[in-house]
Structure 1
Amino acid sequence: MKTPAAPVRDYLSAVEREASALPADRRQELLADLAEHIEVTRAERPDAAIGEVLAELGDPRTIAATAIAEVGNGAEWAPALNAAGPPARHGKVHPLVPLLMVTLSMPFMMVFPDHPGQLFGVLFRITGAVLLCTSVHWTAVQKTTGVLLAAVLPSVIIATWNLSSGGPEAGTPALLANLAMFALMSGTAAWLWRVRRA
């Protein structure tokens, strides 16, 4: 006859087997998180069957696949970091960095309107967008929305504006257009900050 600890041990062993592709430290962190969750749930609901608690957590294969995919998102872009262990729950780059790079590219371009200033502003925006896309702090939909609203749309507007002769002249209209784009970028960054995963 199995004791209540045996199903938990079997469940965690199954997760550990399925997650063998994870770095050892990330695998141990995952197992510790699951064990803690099981312990807290059993303390909160002492009458719940252990099988019910484990079923709520989900299939060990699914849990391991999700953890491996999370790590894979960061490791894809930084294979050299694998020796030190790819990003786990917390990415190598703080989530504020890509948001600031994308958002501050606009005021940078406004303050330095000459050709090198524009180039640095574009590089800031592209780097911020790449860091945003490779971050573990947002879902794919959130990343796509953020990049479209904070990087692609402003870039398309600026390119269209510069290539057309109908764009506003320097002065108040240009300043208002730039401030409107900055507000869009700031709003998108604020939304991304609010919905980020810890």
Structure 2
Amino acid sequence: MSNALTHPLVRAYLASVDREAAVLSDDRRRDLVADLREHIESVLPQDADDATVQQALDQLGTPREIAAAAIAEEPGVNALQPESDARTNRTLGMMVLGAPFFWVLGIGLVVAVLAAVRIWRSTAWTRRDKRLGILCAFSPLLVTPAVAAPFAIAGGLGVAALIGTFLIAVVIPLAGAIRLGRTAARLHPHAA
């Protein structure tokens, strides 16, 4: 016998609701998913076939509709809205391109500040994603000295070590930009 909650369609549905409701607080989102789990478990029989499961899920509504209803009930919480690809790409480009220039006349710092402002004002990311993006944009401030220090202690900071340090400092903003890019892409209808 199989529990209805272990059915792949149910797991995918609940994961989608959790993603769509990302702007809600962690507690509220967990409560929403727990309520859905409880309801699904009560309406689906053990060993339900795919058609029965899909019919039960269709009656609940789409994950986006469920999340939108929950978001609408929360004061001060707005649903994520897609931005234009060009705006998102410019913001993420600034986040990545600022890293190699952090120590060149402060250019990187200015670019990181601009990227941080754009990230924070964006409607495409949750607060958690925004904090992560801003942290990644400013990570060269901490990463470069932290990586350079062991090289300097071990025997000097040569050209190869300096280049390696800067490459490592670029990886974190790049990884953060990839994550934010994927998150923003999920908001577009064509990205599924």
User: In terms of Rg, which structure is larger?
Assistant: 1
